[in-house]
Chain A
Amino acid sequence: MSEEVYPINIWINEERFEKVRVAGLAELTKDVLAGLKVIQVPASVAEKDALLSKFPKAKCDTATTKTIELLPREVKDQLLDLALEQRNVNVAGLFLEKLEAKK
């Protein structure tokens, strides 16, 4: 059975898009509304569960969209920063490692 993926939507406005473009990730963005874009950071089942338990207000509708919603703004900002730094969107694991290391 292939591993399920639970995306985290990061909204990309014009200001952010410039940085995303420089990081070479522009092709991973998708137009959502009138030029506002989204880039998705995927999370595995284990990463999703870890995020939901560390941030109890977050939700994941596993039946329909499968996206992880209502993560704190800071978390999403950090995920974007990591993705730009790594030039890669697969940063959910790295984010959780860093969170663990801070303890």
Chain B
Amino acid sequence: MVDNALSPHGGKIVERVVPTPAEKLRGLTQVPIRGPQARECLGIAYGFFSPLEGFLTAADVDSVVKNMTLASGYVWSIPLVFDLSEGQIKEMGIKEGGKLLLTYQDQPFATLDVEEIFSYDKELMAKNVYGTTDPKHPGVKRTQAYQDKFVGGKVTIVNPPVINPPFDGFWFPPKAQRELFAQRGWKKVVAHQTRNVPHAGHEWLMKGAWFAANADAILVNPVIGEKRPGDYIDEAILLSHDILRKAGYFREDIHTTSLLLWDMRYAGPREAVFHAIVRKNLGCTHHMFGRDHAGVGTYYDTYAAHRIFNELPDLGIYPVKTLEWWYCPVCAGIAYEEQCAHKQEAQRFSGSLIRSIIEDGVKPPRLIFRPEVFDLVMESAEKYGHGSPFVNEAYLKRPDPVMTIPAMQL
């Protein structure tokens, strides 16, 4: 099933944020949740994951795993499930038809309607979603770590979080994002998914996609969530993309940055589909997909995320499939793989090369890395990264920097 471009996936934006007084929450069974679950609750309740209204029930999980659609027929590629152990369910007396109060940071946060308690074959889930059951794959590892039971049902945020600086300036749930696009008069917006600080390869990927889509604007939408040692720190990613515009590499009237709270599954092509749907909900008409989109290791073919869209019905968001941008000494500039024939001479942007340069604090030529971005990355390292722009142990140990749940006495 598909809706027209610009309409959210499923036809309407889900909004399930209902600030609720404490007395109405008293007596509900309390279940503490972790960061990833809290982020998923926000994604659902603020409509990023429309048409989902909650964690998936069994029929939806089965359909997503086997057909890449919800039971309703809408394309959906990643199962969002809420797991509990059989012991927890018994101990807390959780029953179908009940309602749970999910607490985060020791505060009431959201309710979960217990529509269905079920189990599902985790091996099959991993195999179909990730194309592998190798426990070294981070998504497979996440799947295998699920407890044995799942609770499906609607989620409602009852105590909305405060989004902390510097993240607050980038918090645009679908409704707010769409309003911003409308104010600016942007009808065609091409989304850029990233977990990187931008080098010129990324900058040209965005500029090229803007041309290819004949777009009004670019939405840079970094994924903010669970980190692994060696990743760029979230603050550096967000702020460095923003500074590309502030420093004039993109004009103010064609570029904006907002964040997506999401823990990468590294599901390659399936995750590409998920990214497309979320950005459609944000109001984008196009989405960039480069090499090895949302991949990890060698589990997926370099351009598997390009091909998957050929097998799906029109999602109402157009995939802009791009190959590599490189530096070509013959062309004497940044060049595109499909245009420049100097493949032998091409100097590629390798992630590990750029990382090594940044680690050594050596300011690269402005042609490959903007000095403003470099300075900002170094500044973010001091301010947010315990001295490093890359995630280290100290950064991993900090409490959730993005959101604070307001204190609420039950």
B145 within 8 Å of A (CB atoms): no
Among A32, A34, A35, A76, max chain B CB count under 10 A is at A34
Closest-by-CB residue of A relative to B348 is: A33
Taking the nearest CB of chain A, how far is it from the CB of B87, in angstroms?
40
Taking the nearest CB of chain B, how far is it from the CB of A20, in angstroms?
12
A36 within 8 Å of B (CB atoms): yes
Q: Which listed residue, A9, A13, A77, touches B364 by the CB 8 Å rule?
A: A13
In the bound complex, do residue B347 and residue A34 qualify as a contact, i.e. CB atoms below 8 Å apart?
yes
In the complex, A35 Cα to B200 Cα: how many Å? 14
In the complex, A76 Cα to B356 Cα: how many Å? 11
Query: What string of 1s and 0s marks CB contacts (under 8 Å) between A44-80 and chain B?
Result: 0000000000000000000000000110010011000
In the bound complex, do residue A33 and residue B353 qualify as a contact, i.e. CB atoms below 8 Å apart?
yes
In the bound complex, do residue A33 and residue B347 qualify as a contact, i.e. CB atoms below 8 Å apart?
yes
In the bound complex, do residue A13 and residue B363 qualify as a contact, i.e. CB atoms below 8 Å apart?
yes
Closest-by-CB residue of B relative to A15 is: B363
Q: Which residues of B contact A9 (CB under 8 A)?
A: 356
In the bound complex, do residue A69 and residue B356 qualify as a contact, i.e. CB atoms below 8 Å apart?
yes
In the bound complex, do residue A73 and residue B368 qualify as a contact, i.e. CB atoms below 8 Å apart?
no
Closest-by-CB residue of B relative to A16 is: B362
In the bound complex, do residue A73 and residue B359 qualify as a contact, i.e. CB atoms below 8 Å apart?
yes
B27 within 8 Å of A (CB atoms): no
In the complex, A13 Cα to B363 Cα: how many Å? 7
Q: Which listed residue, A16, A34, A70, touches B368 by the CB 8 Å rule?
A: A34
Among B327, B360, B363, max chain A CB count under 10 A is at B360
Q: Which residues of B contact A12 (CB under 8 A)?
A: 362
Taking the nearest CB of chain B, how far is it from the CB of A83, in angstroms?
15
Q: Which residues of A contact B359 (CB under 8 A)?
A: 70, 73
Q: Which residues of A contact B349 (CB under 8 A)?
A: 33
Known contacts A9-B356, A11-B356, A69-B356: does B367 contact A35 (CB below 8 Å)?
yes
B313 within 8 Å of A (CB atoms): no
In the bound complex, do residue B327 and residue A34 qualify as a contact, i.e. CB atoms below 8 Å apart?
yes
A31 within 8 Å of B (CB atoms): yes
B19 within 8 Å of A (CB atoms): no
In the complex, A75 Cα to B160 Cα: how many Å? 48
Q: Which residues of A contact B352 (CB under 8 A)?
A: 69
In the bound complex, do residue B362 and residue A32 qualify as a contact, i.e. CB atoms below 8 Å apart?
no
In the bound complex, do residue B357 and residue A11 qualify as a contact, i.e. CB atoms below 8 Å apart?
yes
In the complex, A97 Cα to B373 Cα: how many Å? 38
Known contacts A32-B347, A33-B347, A34-B347: does B365 contact A14 (CB below 8 Å)?
yes
B329 within 8 Å of A (CB atoms): yes
Taking the nearest CB of chain B, how far is it from the CB of A98, in angstroms?
20
In the bound complex, do residue B365 and residue A36 qualify as a contact, i.e. CB atoms below 8 Å apart?
yes
In the bound complex, do residue A34 and residue B367 qualify as a contact, i.e. CB atoms below 8 Å apart?
yes
In the complex, A9 Cα to B331 Cα: how many Å? 27
Contact residues, B263-282 vs A (CB, 8 A) = none
Taking the nearest CB of chain B, how far is it from the CB of A64, in angstroms?
12
In the complex, A35 Cα to B362 Cα: how many Å? 13
Q: Which residues of B contact A33 (CB under 8 A)?
A: 327, 347-349, 353, 364-365, 368
Q: Which residues of A contact B166 (CB under 8 A)?
A: none
B361 within 8 Å of A (CB atoms): yes
Contact residues, B57-101 vs A (CB, 8 A) = none
Which residues of A are at the interface with B, using a C-beta cutoff of 8 A?
Answer: 9-16, 31-36, 69-70, 73, 76-77
Which residues of B are at the interface with A, using a C-beta cutoff of 8 A?
Answer: 200, 327, 329, 347-349, 352-353, 356-357, 359-365, 367-368
Q: What are 5 A-B interface contacts by the 8 Å CB criterion?
A: A10-B360, A31-B329, A33-B327, A36-B364, A69-B352
